Structures are given as C-alpha cells and as structure tokens.
C-alpha cells in the first residue's frame, strides 16, 4: 500500500521520511516525521505490571517497581494474578488523544496503519499464543462501523481471535474506582482455551479496569496467562 500523504495532517510524505522508516525499512509510511515526533514513546523504567513510566509517579506511590494502582489490584483476592502485564506504546498526550479520537470516534479506519509498525515491533518481544481484541457492544459497533482493537490487530498482520463478547455498556470511565472494581462482569466468553497465553489488544489503558475484567473472564475460562498491549497509556 502506497500512501502519499500523512494520514494525520495530510502533508506530503517524502519517500523514506515517514515515521515508520525510523522503525523498519520494509514498512510503508503512513505518517510524517513531524506528526511522529508529537508522539511520546513509553520509555525508561515503567511499572512492571501496567507499563506506566515510573518517572511520572510520586516516589511514595511506587513499591518494587510497581505503581500503587497495580499493587491495590493485586492485593484484592478477586483480581490477584488476573493480568500478568500490560504493555503500552505511547503516552496518552494531547496529540495521541486527538489521533485516537479521529481513529475511533470519527471512523478513520486507515489510522490503524500508523500504529501497525509499532505494534509489530512490540509483538516481537511479547510471548503469546493468540491475540484477542477487546470487543465493542453491538450498538457501539453499529455506530462506529468497526472495532478499533480488531482493526489494529488486522492492520498489524495478525488474525484477531474474537473470544470475548460484551454483556453491558462501555461507560465505565464515569464510575468511581470502587464501582468499577465491583461492577458486574461486562464480558463473556463461550470458548475454553486451556493454558493458552492470551494477548488482549485495546487502544488506551487508563484505569486498567476494562483490561482486567476481560482478563478475568478468560482466566476463569482456563486461559494460562493474560497480558495486554494498548496503544496509549493514560
């Protein structure tokens, strides 16, 4: 696929100057260097569970290279061991927020391709047997036209394994932490996948609640371990 203009700002792409050229020579370019530099890659020491850069966490909220949020999840018997590890690619800064909104709310499906090179590169270092997208409800899927997580997997050249379905609405972000943790399960699976290493894909990791609810359903269905890869870390 040859794209001549940056999918975000529409400026003309110079051959081999797009951001993907910085990662992999064999990739096509979908985004200009200027846009690329507005993304802040996740780097340095990060929480060993959720990938939050620890430089952004107050020292009193860090224990053994883990952030207090993750420690609290692990201290809860219901949730301990559910999510092995989250990996994120970039910070959820203003630019990332804008691009992700353009992608999932304004239906710009092609933007999946600007993340694909980063996803592919990251997947080389994550062990997994199968990749599972976080599902949308049927209503959301109808409104948006595509599932952004599934599109990210497909754009990266992998086969999405739709093991999960939604049972409730997606409006989790407006609830308090306690409400989120004790919320009735929002996902279900009909498939038993004993001992498999599952990698969940979603666009943003904010509280970790969505990912953990999904992970719990799969774990309860016999999955061996569950990790997640999210584009942005909120």
The count of C-alpha atoms lying within 13 angstroms of the C-alpha of 194, restricted to the half-sphere facing its C-beta, is 0
Report if residue 35 touches Zn ion, rule: CB under 5 A: yes
Residue closer to Zn ion, measured from CB, 50 or 153: 50
* Locus of tokens 């943003």: 204
Q: Encode burial over 115-130: b for 16+ CB neighbours within 10 A, e otherwise.
A: bbbbbbeebeeeebee
Report if residue 8 touches Zn ion, rule: CB under 5 A: yes
Report if residue 67 touches Zn ion, rule: CB under 5 A: yes
* Locus of tokens 């394994």: 161
Shortest separation between residue 171's beta carbon and Zn ion, angstroms: 24
Specify the DSSP element, H or E, that contains 145.
none
Shortest separation between residue 14's beta carbon and Zn ion, angstroms: 11
Report if residue 70 touches Zn ion, rule: CB under 5 A: yes
Report if residue 47 touches Zn ion, rule: CB under 5 A: yes
Report if residue 7 touches Zn ion, rule: CB under 5 A: no
Report if residue 50 touches Zn ion, rule: CB under 5 A: yes
Burial of 8 from C-beta contacts in 10 A (0-12 / 13-18 / 19+): buried
Token pair for residue 12?
């003309």
Specify the DSSP element, H or E, that contains 2.
none
Of 20-28, 46-54, 131-139, 219-227: span binding Zn ion (CB under 5 A) = 46-54
Task: Report the alpha-carbon distance of residue 80 to residue 72 in Å, rounded.
Answer: 9
Shortest separation between residue 45's beta carbon and Zn ion, angstroms: 12
Report if residue 217 touches Zn ion, rule: CB under 5 A: no
Contact positions toward Zn ion, by CB under 5 A? 6, 8-9, 32, 35, 47, 49-50, 67, 70
């Amino acid at each position: 696929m040859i794209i001549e203009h940056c999918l975000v700002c529409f400026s003309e792409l110079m051959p081999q100057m797009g951001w993907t050229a910085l990662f992999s020579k064999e990739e096509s370019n979908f985004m200009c260097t200027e846009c690329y530099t507005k993304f802040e890659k996740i780097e340095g020491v990060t929480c060993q569970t959720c990938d939050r850069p620890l430089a952004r966490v107050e020292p009193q909220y860090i224990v053994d290279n883990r952030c207090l949020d993750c420690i609290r999840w692990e201290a809860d018997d219901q949730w301990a061991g559910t999510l092995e590890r989250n990996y994120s690619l970039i910070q959820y800064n203003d630019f990332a927020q804008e691009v992700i909104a353009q992608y999932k709310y304004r239906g710009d499906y092609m933007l999946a391709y600007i993340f694909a090179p980063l996803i592919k590169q990251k997947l080389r270092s994550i062990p997994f047997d199968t990749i599972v997208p976080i599902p949308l409800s049927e209503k959301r899927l109808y409104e948006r036209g595509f599932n952004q997580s599934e599109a990210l997997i497909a754009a990266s050249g992998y086969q999405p394994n739709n093991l999960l379905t939604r049972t409730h609405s997606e409006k989790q972000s407006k609830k308090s932490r306690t409400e989120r943790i004790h919320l009735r399960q929002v996902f279900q699976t009909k498939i038993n996948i004993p001992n498999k290493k599952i990698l969940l894909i979603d666009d943003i990791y904010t509280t970790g609640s969505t990912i953990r609810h999904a992970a719990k359903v799969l774990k309860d269905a016999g999955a061996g371990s569950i990790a997640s890869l999210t584009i942005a870390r909120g």
